Amino acid sequence: MKLTVPTMLTLLRIVLIPVLVLVYYLDYRWTNFAAAAIFAFASLTDWLDGWIARRYDQYSAFGAFLDPVADKLMVATALVITVQHHHTVWMALWAAVIIGREIAVSALREWMAELGQRAKVKVATIGKVKTVVQMVALVFLLYRDPVLQLPVFAIGEWLLAAAALLTLWSGFAYLHAAWPSLKDDVKNS
C-alpha cells in the first residue's frame, strides 16, 4: 500500500481524536480554545486531503475507505464530549440524529456497493452543506465562551440543530436515491 499525502492527512485526523479528548478535559482556561482549534484544524484537513487527491490524482482505495471513517469518528467524538459537557435533551437529540444518520448512510452505502450501485449514493451538495454547518457548529460548541458579546455556544447550538435537520434531509435524499435498487433487491430475495 502506497501512503499518499491525502491518506497521511486522514491518518492525522484519526491521531488527533485522542488529543482532542485529552485537551478538552484538561483543567486550564485555554483548553476550550485548544479543543476548538484542534477540531477546526482536523476539519480543514478533511477539505485539504480531498483537494490534494483531486488536484494531484492521489486517490487510493485505502484513502477512499479511511476518509469517511476518520470524519465520522472525529464528529462523533466531538458530539459525545459536547453532550457530556452540556447534557440537555435537545443537544442529545441532535447528536443522536447526526450519529445515527452517519451509521445508517454508511450501512446504506455498503449495501449499495454490494449491489454494484454505489454511485447512486455518492455525496450530494446537501451533504456538503450539512458538513460545513456541522463543523462550524462543533467548533463553536467546543469553544463555548462568548466572543465580543456574541453568544458563541448558543450560536453553536442553533447551528447544530440546523446541521441535524440538514442531516435528516440528506439522509432521506440518499435513501430516495437508493430506494429503487433496494426495493428490487428485496423483491428478488
HSE toward the beta carbon, residue 119, CA cutoff 13 A: 1
Compute the distance between CA of residue 33 and CA of residue 178 in angstroms, rounded to an integer: 41
The model's pTM is 0.88
How confident is residue 132, by pLDDT bands cut at 50, 70 and 90? very high
Contact 151, 141 (CB under 8 A): no
Please report the pLDDT score of residue 64 as a whole number: 81
Does the pLDDT value for residue 103 go beyond 80? yes
Residue 60 amino acid letter: S
Please report the pLDDT score of residue 187 as a whole number: 65
The overall average pLDDT reported for the chain is: 88
147 bridge partner residues: 150
Work out the angle at residue 7's Cα, subtended by the Cα atoms of residues 4 and 9, and round it to the nearest 5 degrees.
Answer: 110
Q: Which of 86-95, 126-135, 175-184 is least confident?
A: 175-184
Please report the pLDDT score of residue 170 as a whole number: 85
pLDDT above 70 as % of the chain: 90
Does the pLDDT value for residue 78 go beyond 70? yes
| 36-60 tens-digit pLDDT | 999 999 999 999 998 998 899 888 8
Scan for cell 462550524, then name that residue. Answer: 136
How confident is residue 120, by pLDDT bands cut at 50, 70 and 90? low
28-62 b/e (C-beta count within 10 Å ≥ 16 → b)? eeeebebbbbbbbebbebbeebbebbeeeeeebee
Contact 83, 95 (CB under 8 A): yes
